[in-house]
Amino acid sequence: MANQKLTIILDINKTIVMADPAGGQTEDDVCNSVLSEVACGRIDDTSDPPRWHWAGGAVCPRHELADPTLVSYADFVHARYADTPLVGMEENQLRKAARRRLKCRFTEPGMAGEGLRGAYTAMQRALRLPRGARAHPAAAAAGLADRATYFIVPAYFDLITTLARCGANFNIQFASFGTDLPRVAREHDAYCAGAHPLSHGPRLDGTDARCGRVDLRIGARADARAALYRDAAAAALVLVTLEVPASRAALPGGGSVTSSAAIAEWLLRARASAVRHCYRHWRDSLEDAHAGNLVFLPCVAAAAAPTTRSADALRTDKLSVDTLSASVLGDVPSADTPSTAAASVGDALGADAADADAMMSTDAPRAARDGDSLNADTRGGGDLLSNDARGCGSGGDCAHHVIVFDDGVEADDAHIVDARCARTGEALGFEAVRAQHLVRAEPFWVSTSGTGRDNYFIREIAKRWCAGAALLERIAELEVLQ
């Protein structure tokens, strides 16, 4: 399993940041709303109107409920105040406001979840900055001087530090529709440079030999920021900006990538990046399950593709990726990829720093060809992601595996993930990709996460990456040495 590269794509709100300014939710609102999604109860249909009663016990992710009579409070509220085409827009807006209000007050006295106030307090405590953190010399550089709570959760910083200390060969990508990416990048870069109250262990700014001089700073490269424009016809990646063009006509003549192959290669190779995606197109696509993160998977069986689309729709789903480099697709060994078998846990997790940097950093994407555009149907849109999985989790090794963390992923619906075959461009079914590539981020467990092997992100990665067992072994070795 030599030189197995891992790319981790992270949504922002309710994945690594426990606030939702775009949705008008404070940290307190998010904590209540999060608990409403993992609190199990039963519906009393004898009352008028029906009422939800907490069943007691610990909180549990909705997709792990074994008792079919149990339902989360959030699901109850969404069913009780569901949008319907039978009423006007104003009435549906009132229903949406009612859903939000009930979820954001879930554990307050007199509300349905007041019995879970202890869990709310535990989540609040986990998100609170330690005493003296705001007075720390590095607080201002990290953007924490005026905060009482964390912005980026500690579990994220433990994730990247742990992977670096283990010698893992990994990339990080922040993906968002919103305007919070500059703030996230600022705190992330401060942590990597050792200028953060939580900074510990190796620095991740290219100066620390203990982690192979890995440089995860987004600000270290001008082209580590990009905006992805997408419409019904094609996609374009605009480099060195986080501003999504208002229309195709507004795309800059230079500095944009319109070849799907070049877009995929950029997304795969960037060591650390921030990508703002085209919310307008996702919204205009009615937030369809295929109007989200576009994931390229070169080896998933075509039989897994959806069968509900017409032949014409599938024809427009084709993507041209014939110019994608062999080192990305994994057809032949790259010159930077050792061909010998892994001789140690360290080898199993990654190449040496020079090889890793050579593989994952490029000065610019492959030259774009205007004729090689992403031709998506009107149901395609949103974030563009790429993956080169070669049987990860199915008995084979993988040259490059991608895992997406997003709180919007459901047990039976990708919601914002549009998975496609990298070789043919055909859309793939949710069941073909969910087990190894998609993680529904659970904000309660992210917020209250442990460290090392108990880190929420590490545990989920280990379940899906064929180098996961070696990763856990290496973490255990390091814990013994501490």
List pLDDT tens digits, range 113-148: 999 999 999 999 999 998 888 889 999 999 999 898
Give mean pLDDT, residues 302-331: 33
More confident residue, 327 or 398: 398
Q: What is the pLDDT of residue 27?
A: 85
Locus of tokens 């959806």: 306
Q: How far, in Å, CA of 288 to CA of 439, rounded?
A: 19
Split at pLDDT 50, 70, 90, the class of 388 is very low
Residue that wins the pLDDT comparison between 270 and 186: 186
Across the beta sheet with 400-406, what order do the strands follow? 256-257, 235-239, 225-230, 272-276, 169-176, 5-11, 400-406, 438-440
pLDDT-based confidence at residue 282 (cuts at 50, 70, 90): confident
Residue 425 is predicted with a pLDDT of 62
Number of neighbouring beta carbons within 10 Å of residue 390: 18
> What's residue 367's pLDDT?
30
371: its two tokens: 């004729």
Torsion angle (degrees, nearest 10) of CA 402, 406, 410, 411 = 40
What pTM value is reported for the model?
A: 0.80
Torsion of CA 75, 79, 81, 85, to 10 degrees: 130
pLDDT given at position 305: 38
Least confident of 62-76, 351-365, 393-407: 351-365
Residue 54, beta-bridge partner list: 41
Comparison of pLDDT for 353 and 300, the residue scoring more: 300
Q: Residue 439: beta bridge partners?
A: 405
Average pLDDT over residues 355-372: 31
pLDDT at 343 over 70: no
Asked if 439 and 409 touch (Cβ cutoff 8 Å), the reply is: yes
**pLDDT for 366 beyond 50:** no
Rounded to the nearest 10°, the torsion over CA 298, 304, 310, 311 is 50
**Does residue 397 have a pLDDT over 80?**
no
Is the pLDDT at 460 greater than 70, yes or no?
yes
Residue 64: per-residue pLDDT? 80
* pLDDT for 333: 29
Find the angle CA(173)-CA(235)-CA(310) to the nearest 5 degrees: 110
Asked if residue 385 lies in contact with residue 175, where contact means CB atoms within 8 angstroms, the answer is yes
User: Quick one: pLDDT at residue 110?
Assistant: 95
pLDDT at 192 over 70: yes
Residue 101 makes CB contacts below 8 A (sequence gap 6+) with none
DSSP-derived pairing of the beta strands 384-386 and 256-257:
unpaired
Chain length of the chain: 482
For range 12-28, the mean pLDDT:
82
Percent of the chain with pLDDT over 90: 42
> How would DSSP label each residue in 211-245?
GTT-B--GGG-GGGEEEEEE-SS-EEEEET--PPP
The whole-angstrom separation of Cα 478 and Cα 482 is 6
Query: First vs last Cα of the chain: how many Å apart?
Result: 27
**228 compared with 304, residue with greater pLDDT:** 228
CB 363 within 8 A of CB 344: no
Between 44-48, 229-233, 349-353, the lowest mean confidence (pLDDT) is in: 349-353
Q: What is the mean pLDDT of residues 317-323?
A: 32
Q: Which amino acid is at 177?
A: F
Between 214-228, 292-306, 422-436, 462-476, the lowest mean confidence (pLDDT) is in 292-306
Q: Report residue 284 as tokens.
A: 């205009």
3-state secondary structure of 21: helix
In the structure encoding, which two tokens stand for residue 330, read together? 């994994």
CA-to-CA distance for 53 and 214, rounded, in angstroms? 51
Closest CA to 14 of 434, 446, 451, 448: 446
Q: Which pLDDT score is estimated for 103? A: 96
Mean pLDDT of the chain: 77
CA distances from 125 to 129, 130, 150 (A): 9, 9, 10
Cβ-contact 153, 18 below 8 angstroms: yes
DSSP state of 153: -
More confident residue, 84 or 110: 110
Residues 202, 203, 208, 209, CA torsion sign: positive
Residue 251 has pLDDT above 50, yes or no: yes
Q: List 170's β-bridge partners, or say none.
A: 6
Q: Binning pLDDT at 50, 70 and 90, where does residue 378 land?
A: very low
Tokens 């897994």 correspond to what residue?
Answer: 304
Q: How does DSSP classify residue 130?
A: P
pLDDT digit string, tens, across residues 399-434? 788 899 999 888 887 877 777 766 666 677 788 788
Mean pLDDT on 343-347? 34
**CA separation for the pair 480, 68 (Å, rounded):** 43
More confident residue, 58 or 337: 58
Q: Looking at residue 218, what is its pLDDT? A: 96
Handedness of CA 53, 59, 60, 65 (dihedral sign): negative
Mean per-residue pLDDT, 181-205: 93
The conformation of residue 210, written as its DSSP 8-state character, comes to G
Share of the chain above pLDDT 70, in %: 73
| Cβ atoms of residues 59 and 445 within 8 Å | no
Strands 40-44 and 71-72: antiparallel
Task: Indicate the pLDDT class of residue 358, thresholds 50, 70 and 90.
Answer: very low
Q: Kind of pairing, strands 225-230 and 235-239?
A: antiparallel
Q: Which two tokens stand for residue 277?
A: 């995606």
Q: What is the pLDDT of residue 290?
A: 66
> Alpha-carbon Rg of the chain, whole angstroms?
22
Task: Answer with the residue of higher pLDDT: 82 or 322.
Answer: 82
Q: In what order do the strands lie in the sheet with 384-386?
A: 384-386, 293-296, 417-420
How many helices (DSSP H) and strands (DSSP E) are in the chain?
A: 17, 14
